[in-house]
Every structure is written in C-alpha cells, then in structure tokens.
Amino acid sequence: MKNVLKEVLSTSIYLLVVLCAAYLIITYVGQRTQVSGSSMETTLSENDNLIVDKITYRFSEPQRFDIIVFPYEPDFAAYYVDTEPVYYIKRIIGMPGETVQIDEQGNIYINGEILKESYGKEVIKYAGRANEPIVLGDDEYFVMGDNRNNSSDSREPSVGNIQRDDIIGRAWLRIWPFDKFGILKHQ
C-alpha cells in the first residue's frame, strides 16, 4: 500500500510539473496559431500552422516588416458575449512616430518617402484611412497584409493603429504543412 501511495504521489507531482511548464511556455515563450484567410498570401496561406514567438519582444522592439500577431477587437465585439478571441496576423509597415500615407497610385509613403519593399505584389487599390497622412504615436504601428487588396488591416478604422502592448508576438516558425516547414522570413 505504501508503494502504491508513493507512486500515485510521484505521478501527481510529475503531472503538475508538466502542466505548469506547459502553461509557462504557452503564456510567456510561444504558442501555436493557425492562419485563417488569405490576407498574408503568398507568405502565409490558409490553414498554415505557426509557432508565435512571444519572448523576443520582451527584450527588443518590433521591427519594420516583422510579421506580428495581435487581437482583433472591433467596436461591435461587445455585443458578442461567448465568442472566442480573434487574432490577426499582419506585417509591420509603419513604426512609432512615423507618418504613413498611401497615394492614388498605391504607393506607400513613410515620412514622405516611398517605402521600398517587396511583400505586397499588387498595386494597392484601396488606401482606406491612409489616403490622408496617419501620424503614429510613440507606441503605435501601422500593419498591412501582404495580399494588399484582400486584407483588413490598419487601413480600416475597425483595425486602426496597433498599440505596442497589444502585440502578442511575432510569427516565427511554420510547422504545417510539412513541405513549407521552416523559419519565416521577416526582413
């Protein structure tokens, strides 16, 4: 009887340690997420499974072109009581303190200069709120999907500028599908 009790206690302690370790990893280090939608095509596709790095931004600031994950909380979310949180995944285009604008030809301007980037493969048809200059605050980021004409992003008032504290982490590793397995290119 003593051996059985000792084994039960040992197994219980082991399971408690494993559960605590899993909780700490998911909360502070990384978590799995699944891409829903095509707003990040061709970089990320529908149903891609990713590991989000939640620790890097504890020691450094987000950089332009990082692919980040943040909660999407539209104004009407208060009307939905029992819904799962929705997270968006987008690329950082504008950094704190910068001015972002998109002209009629679809060019992105940062502080009056055209942004040199190769992620958006098509001409932007909809500038949204960025048709006028948007001045970012000291802790705000302007984000866009790579599939610029099929993305709800900072151009939309319901998304707007992303606060630094709202960034959950950066997309780090694609784990599914296996033929695309690998670390994601940000810069």
Q: Give me the DSSP letters along 61-76.
A: ---TT-EEEEEE--GG
Instruction: Judge whether 45 counts as a catalytic residue.
Output: no
Token code pair at residue 71: 């909660």
DSSP state of 56: H
Tell me how far the alpha carbon of residue 63 is from its chain's centroid.
13
Tell me which of 2, 6, 90, 154 is the catalytic residue. 90
Please give the sequence-ordered ranges of beta strands (E in DSSP) within the chain, or none if there are none: 30-34, 49-53, 67-72, 86-94, 99-102, 108-110, 113-114, 134-135, 140-144, 162-163, 169-176, 182-183
**Of the residues 6, 12, 38, 39, which is catalytic?**
39
- 90 given a catalytic annotation: yes
Query: Would you please indicate which residues are annotated as catalytic (active-site) residues?
Result: 39, 90
